[in-house]
Structure 1
Amino acid sequence: MTKRLVIKVTAGADAPERCSQAFTVAAVAVASGVEVSLWLTGESAWFALPGRAAQFDLPHSAPLADLIDAILAGGTLTLCTQCAARREITGDDVLPGVRIAGAQVFVQEAMADGAQALVY
């Protein structure tokens, strides 16, 4: 059975420790060979845009841009459809490799055999 981890992060710069924890867990899971799907919702939606992660700073944590690169290299990074629309973010705006999808896809991933879901 494939190990799958679906993570939904709702926090952004408004809650930096919680935000960093989600990205760190996702990147470590990818490095460990786990199939990872990280969902950007709420204020974390901004990190789907080029350059936004470089502006995030949290002492004693890995750079968010590096974590995103690691996640994109071996996992899936998804921006919530509604969150994107509320922020007027389109598919043309996001980092290469980021997809925009809705709740139905999240539920499918979270309910798949072998999946574990976390929310930050």
Structure 2
Amino acid sequence: MESSKLLIISTIGQENHEKATLPFVLATASQSLDVEVVMFLQSSAVVLAKKGEAEKVRAEGFAPLGELFDTFMDMGGKLYLCSPCIKERDIAPGDLVDGVQIGAAGTLVHEVMSADSVVTY
């Protein structure tokens, strides 16, 4: 497969375990095919990047989200969190797992324009 970049935007958090897990399933599958993957979490999805929160999400038929999250990061995935979304939820940078980055609309626009494909959840 030719080198390419996929941007995944997710807005679903712990309120729906299956929809919270699916973006990470796609991300890790894409990484296994040597696709560069960038994820941007918005809305309630930002909570998944708090220490210990992804481990609470388990969707029937899928690997636990905590494992998928770790695999995504270990395989070099880039993960951005919506800065207004974390502020709204009183999430401090120290509450977040290692390796995540905080971005606003400008960051998202840059990632959208530089990606070969964009998928939203």
Whether TM exceeds 0.5 here: the answer is yes
| SS state at 1:77 partner | strand
1:77 counterpart residue number: 79
TM-score, scaled to structure 2: 0.91
What RMSD, in angstroms, separates the aligned Cα atoms of the two structures?
Answer: 1.3
Match for residue 57 of structure 1?
58
Indicate if the aligned counterparts of 1:80 and 1:102 stay in contact, CA closer than 8 A: yes
TM-score (norm 1): 0.92
How is 1:35-46 mapped onto 2 (pairs within 5 angstroms)? 35-46=36-47
Output the amino acid matched with 2:60: P
Which residue identity lines up with residue 20 of structure 2 in the other structure? C
Identify unmatched segments of 5+ residues in structure 2. Answer: none
Provide the C-alpha distance between the structure 1 equivalents of 2:105 and 2:3, rounded to a whole number of angstroms. Answer: 22
Q: Displacement, 1:30?
A: 1.5
Answering whether residue 47 of structure 2 is matched by residue 9 of structure 1, we say no
* Per-residue deviation, 1:75: 1.0
Query: Separation in 1 of the partners of 2:85 and 2:91?
Result: 8
Q: Following TM superposition, where does structure 1 have runs of at least 4 consecutive aligned residues deviating by more than 3 angstroms?
A: none
Q: Percent identity?
A: 30
Structure 1, unpaired ranges of 5+: none
Say how many residue pairs are matched: 119
* Paired residues of 2:81 and 2:100 also in contact (CA < 8 A): yes
Q: CA deviation at 1:90?
A: 2.1
Map of 2:28 onto structure 1: 27
Shift of residue 16, structure 1, vs aligned partner: 2.2
Contact 1:35/1:75 (<8 A) preserved: yes
Cα distance in structure 1, aligned partners of 2:25 and 2:117: 16
Aligned to 1:92: 94
SS in 1 for 2:108: helix
Contact 2:18 2:60 in 1 (8 A): no
